[in-house]
Amino acid sequence: MRRIITLILLICFSIDVFTQEFKFGGNLGNWVHDWVIDMDLTSDGSIILSTDNQARYWDTNGFIPEETFYGLTKIDKAGKVAWYFDFFRTSFDYHEYSIAQTVLDESDNIYSLIYVYQKTNADIINGITYYPGLNLVKISPQGKVIWIKDIGTTDDMGASILYKNGHIYVLCLYQGDLTLESTRKFSSQKYYQCFQWTYEQGTDYLMTKYDTEGNLMNAVSFGEDYPDIAIDATIDNDENIYFLGVSDYFGGCANAYSHITKVDKNLNIVWKKVTSLQTNNNGLFNATNIHYSANNKIYVWGNIYNKITTEDYTLIRDCGTTGGDFSSCLLEFNSSTGNYFRKMQLNSCSTTFTQGSSDDFRRHFVNGYMTDFDNNLLIHTAFVGTLNIGDTTIMSSYYTDTYNYNLQNMLLLKVDVENLTPKYINTFSGAFNSYYLDFPGKILTDNKNNLYLSGTFSENPIYINNDSIGNNSGNGCYDVLYCKFGLEKLLSDTKEIYPNNDEFILYPNPCTNFLKYRYKDKVDKIQIFNMIGTMIRECEINNSVLDIHDLEPNSYILLFYKDNKIISRKVIVKK
């Protein structure tokens, strides 16, 4: 009996990607969950990472291992740890704190928001007074505390810090009575608790302005009767502040609404734009990130669960058939007036971050971190399953035991702001041997066309182009990822080849050390041939990753066998 083998004809698609010169990368973490909070770039190309660590919840005696990176970490321009700073490492009962955000001034001084838990009185550690609640801390480029200012608010959810022209702006929430100075006293508004028929004090917005010596220049409070939520903020060159919030956030007693609010440098409200109104048949736009762009427009990234209808747009959750909870959307607004311009929606979904409260939008939902690059937007986010971007189809990694599980991978996009259309740059995923989820972190660019990327990942290892970065936990917990790439030019001649019906993807191509493939079924056999038809090897089938680090630079043909089909690929190996 003669066996007939059918060679599948492949349809080729061209994908616009950047050249990605991988300059350095690494991870921070220990045996428990670690996750990234913020990232800033110094004048010499070093990065400051703000991280959080689950050890502060578990270790009630303050004995956090010395190798635990918790607080602030400086990564030098070669990618090595220069120093790390745990604010309360020397205190037994003072490790209960979290970091909200950080900013740098022109001299690389660091301004950080830290929130101290479970304390009712101020305490002195190493000669520095720390306060219960929210603290504004100035730290030298060498990692030494210069001063601390007591903001004293009762929560750090959504707290943001911004710097421009020698001024520091802080947006946060407070509840009840608050005194910043003898002449600056505030009291949050009361709301009617309709379930218990009583009045209670809610959370209101507090915005403060400081100089670089820590002197309070101005402070204002505003908000609705029912609780307000702060999410994220951005600032323009004239020190106008744009922030995301949700107001009247109390289910059953009020209809919550999400909004963008513009505040000028004197802390006066200029305008407020409602982006969604929660009703019985309408959901909230779960915004997570706001970005003021060089084109003087405002971009808002958010998540959709229920249908959203406003006078400007209709947003409908679109997860396809591949899982996830919330689909992602980018909205564009006029920064002068708040008028809505356009939207961009992805046809794939993401899942939530279990380490964040559902009321803390920025830490709970998948973010879309944005930065400007070459008159475009770069966006770092995440997706689950299959995602169509123009004529490009990408698939997240998956894990198989009894069932197939689509995993969540980090995703880097370029958005052409002329027509608000996305183009695929890269995905980052890992060894597909368990049920893992990854979450994006902040991205930054410098004036040398370098991209700095952060994230939170749980694989061991995670693959970054042709390199890999390990996970220190050893048990599937999260680690913090940081990387530096060069983005010098578009790579117009790179092709990603896949059949449109069989959903087979092989990448990256060209490659160096690793190849990854994705297919709807598990393949039976993989063979590598040189260009004259000699078989070089038969590969181990190991979780959709091929180790080709020992192949000589050249072109090769890879054959993937499944039942009576052979899928052929040409790949280029470079060193």
Task: Give pLDDT, residue 409.
Answer: 86
Task: Give pLDDT, residue 70.
Answer: 59
Sorting pLDDT into bands at 50, 70 and 90, what band is 283? confident
513 or 164, higher pLDDT = 164
For CA atoms 334, 368, 74, 57, give the dihedral sign.
positive
Q: Is the pLDDT of residue 442 over 60?
A: yes
Sorting pLDDT into bands at 50, 70 and 90, what band is 146? very high
Mean pLDDT of 468-497: 68
Residue 79: what residue type?
G
- The secondary structure of residue 46, as a DSSP letter, is -
Q: Is the pLDDT of residue 79 over 80?
A: yes
Q: Is the pLDDT of residue 321 over 70?
A: no
Sorting pLDDT into bands at 50, 70 and 90, what band is 221? very high
CA-to-CA dists, residue 248 to 157, 241, 274, 304, 446, angstroms: 16, 22, 12, 19, 40
Q: Is the pLDDT of residue 12 over 50?
A: no
Residue 146: what residue type?
I
Residue 9: how many CB atoms within 10 A of its CB?
Answer: 7
Provide, rounded to the nearest whole percent, the portion of the chain with pLDDT above 90. Answer: 33
Task: Give pLDDT, residue 387.
Answer: 80
Task: Give pLDDT, residue 272.
Answer: 97
Report residue 143: phi and psi, to 5°.
90, 25
Residue 215: how many CB atoms within 10 A of its CB?
Answer: 9
Sorting pLDDT into bands at 50, 70 and 90, what band is 375? confident
Average pLDDT over all residues of the chain:
81
Q: Is the pLDDT of residue 334 over 50?
A: yes
466 or 213, higher pLDDT = 213
Task: Give pLDDT, residue 360.
Answer: 67
Token pair of 544, please? 């959709």
Q: pLDDT of 489-498, one tens digit each?
A: 433 333 333 3
Interacting residues of 490 by C-beta distance below 8 A, sequence separation 6+: 16, 17, 18, 19
Q: pLDDT of 110-137, one tens digit each?
A: 999 988 876 778 877 777 888 888 899 9
413: burial class by Cβ within 10 Å (0-12, 13-18, 19+)?
A: buried
Q: pLDDT of 259-274, one tens digit each?
A: 999 999 999 999 999 9
Task: Give pLDDT, residue 88.
Answer: 61
CA pair distance 171, 101, nearest whole angstrom = 11
In this structure, are strands 34-41 and 216-222 parallel, antiparallel, or unpaired?
A: unpaired
Task: Give pLDDT, residue 10.
Answer: 28
Q: Is the pLDDT of residue 366 over 70?
A: yes
Q: Is the pLDDT of residue 563 over 70?
A: yes
Q: pTM of the entire structure?
A: 0.82
What residue has token string 């930065």?
371
Task: Give pLDDT, residue 374.
Answer: 81
Task: Give pLDDT, residue 403.
Answer: 54
Token pair of 125, please? 């550690």
Least confident of 51-60, 87-96, 370-379, 413-422: 87-96
Q: Write out the H or E segment, with its range, that includes residue 353.
A: none
Provide, rounded to the nearest whole percent, the portion of the chain with pLDDT above 70. Answer: 81
Calculated CA dihedral for residues 11, 349, 403, 561, nearest 10 degrees: 10
Cα atoms found within 13 Å of the Cα of residue 235, Cβ hemisphere only? 19
Task: Give pLDDT, residue 137.
Answer: 94
CA pair distance 547, 524, nearest whole angstrom = 17
